[in-house]
Amino acid sequence: YKRGLFSIQDYSSMQCVLALAPQENEKILDICSAPGGKSIFISQLMNNKGSLLSMDISQNKLNLLDEQVKRLDINIVTTKVNDATIFNENYVEQFDRILADVPCSGLGILRRKPEIRYKNFEDIEKIISIQKTILFNCSSYLKKGGRLVYSTCTLGKEENIDIVNDFINKNKNFKLIYTKEYYPHIDNTDGFFVCVIEK
């Protein structure tokens, strides 16, 4: 591990990266990247060729990604502190593929973080608003013909398919390719939602 020969990630988390299907020499954005496991997997599938911008609102969490990038000798990852809810016109149609693994209620990871059951979910509407904003911003950053993956580690339809359907209904230049849900009691993974959209 210390020699950078492997890294560890839950099966369900890997599925959103496989759905993204990153290719060599592409320009890719991981907009909510910390602590960075998915960014690492993306760069590995790119064979360390191309450009990956990994952003997060927390510098401390990005520091963890920087450590992993160094350990694994990856040189295509650039990290940047960024609030994904704030639109950046400099990124409009700049990326071939975008991963939006958005903040969520986290109900899909109860088996690893049982304290989540004690969270106050009165703010769920606020979370949904954040998710919608991030998805909209990412859609503008995607090149024509590009692929966007929206994912969460929760299973409530309000944070998943409802948001996707609302987006597709309002953005006719995007096509829903597929959605997939992973359940702990069926798939022996974290609870996870993956959606592939193309422009």
1 within some domain: no
168 within some domain: yes
124 within some domain: yes
Q: Map tokens 């149609």 to a residue.
A: 93
91 within some domain: yes
Taking the model in full, what pTM does it have?
0.94
What is the predicted pLDDT for the residue at 124? 84
Q: How many domains does the chain have?
A: 1
Range of the domain at 94: 11-198
Q: Which residues pair with 192 in a beta bridge?
A: 182
Ranges of the chain whose pLDDT falls below 50: none
> What is the three-class DSSP state of 1?
coil
3 within some domain: no
Active site residue: 16, 104, 153, 195, which one? Answer: 153
> What is the three-class DSSP state of 93?
coil
Helix (H) or strand (E) holding 81: strand 77-81
Residue 153 is among the residues annotated as catalytic for this protein? yes
Is residue 131 within 8 A of residue 185, CB to CB? The reply is no
68 within some domain: yes
186 within some domain: yes
2 within some domain: no
Is residue 41 within 8 A of residue 14, CB to CB? The reply is yes
